[in-house]
């Protein structure tokens, strides 16, 4: 059973890397961003509330998020483990529900490089102001979980600069070296 988490700022390619590793290891992939983007489409009170939060670049409530993750993990086959993308994002979320990761891959990228990549992507919600706001929230809320996993000895920092294949190689080298 291998439980792996991916953490990194927007633009670090964490979803791409997590998906590729999931394919390689034949493990299920679960992403809170995907869960919320699905909910956002729903024409319900919950859907509208989530849309507002996502569009502002803020984080969804910790307890709601933790419950959704628990439910999401029940719905998939996690017998051999799983690759998680995007949960936990705050220390508080770990208190609500801690999946107990064996490895935490942190894709490290400078704010300047993240900004450059996201502006190039040119999505409607990728204005310079919104990107800067999301990076600010990321540092404020998510940086502390890096210390948490560092102290636990599960944090593996990966250089997030370079092309997709190079970064995936760096990750697989770590996996290969440990197993």
Contact present, 8 and 108 (Cβ < 8 Å): yes
Angle between helices 45-56 and 32-40 (to 10 degrees): 120
- Applying CB under 6 A, among 53, 91, 132, 175 the residue interacting with ligand AMP is 53
Among the listed ranges 81-89, 101-109, 144-152, 164-172, the one in contact with ligand AMP (CB under 6 A) is: 81-89
**9 belongs to the binding site for ligand AMP (CB under 6 A):** no
**32 belongs to the binding site for ligand AMP (CB under 6 A):** yes
Q: Which residue is nearest to ligand AMP (CB)?
A: 33
**CA neighbor of 150 nearest in space, from 95, 88, 106, 93:** 106
**33 belongs to the binding site for ligand AMP (CB under 6 A):** yes
Q: Cβ of residue 87: shortest distance to ligand AMP, in angstroms? A: 4
Q: How many residues bind ligand AMP (CB under 6 A)?
A: 15
Measured CA to CA, the distance from residue 102 to residue 27 in angstroms comes to 14
Contact present, 25 and 175 (Cβ < 8 Å): yes
Q: Cβ of residue 32: shortest distance to ligand AMP, in angstroms? A: 3
Q: Cβ of residue 108: shortest distance to ligand AMP, in angstroms? A: 16
The HSE-up count of residue 92 (CA atoms within 13 Å, CB side) is 9
Measured CA to CA, the distance from residue 65 to residue 78 in angstroms comes to 19
Give the footprint of ligand AMP on this chain (CB under 6 A).
Answer: 10, 32-33, 36, 53-54, 57, 59-60, 65, 86-89, 93
């Amino acid at each position: 059973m291998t439980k792996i988490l991916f953490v990194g700022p927007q633009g670090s390619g964490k979803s791409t890397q997590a998906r590729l590793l999931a394919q390689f290891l034949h493990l299920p992939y679960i992403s809170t961003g995907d869960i919320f983007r699905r909910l956002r489409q729903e024409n319900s009170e919950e859907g509208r509330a989530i849309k507002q939060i996502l569009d502002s670049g803020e984080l969804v409530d910790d307890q709601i998020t933790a419950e959704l993750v628990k439910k999401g993990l029940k719905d998939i086959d996690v017998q051999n483990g799983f690759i998680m993308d995007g949960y936990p994002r705050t220390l508080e979320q770990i208190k609500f529900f801690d999946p107990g990761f064996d490895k935490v891959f942190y894709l490290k990228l400078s704010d300047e490089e993240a900004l450059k990549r996201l502006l190039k992507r040119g999505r409607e919600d990728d204005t310079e102001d919104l990107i800067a706001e999301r990076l600010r929230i990321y540092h404020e809320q998510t940086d502390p979980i890096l210390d948490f996993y560092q102290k636990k000895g599960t944090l593996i920092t990966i250089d997030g600069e370079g092309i997709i294949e190079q970064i995936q190689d760096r990750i697989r080298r770590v996996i290969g070296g440990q197993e």
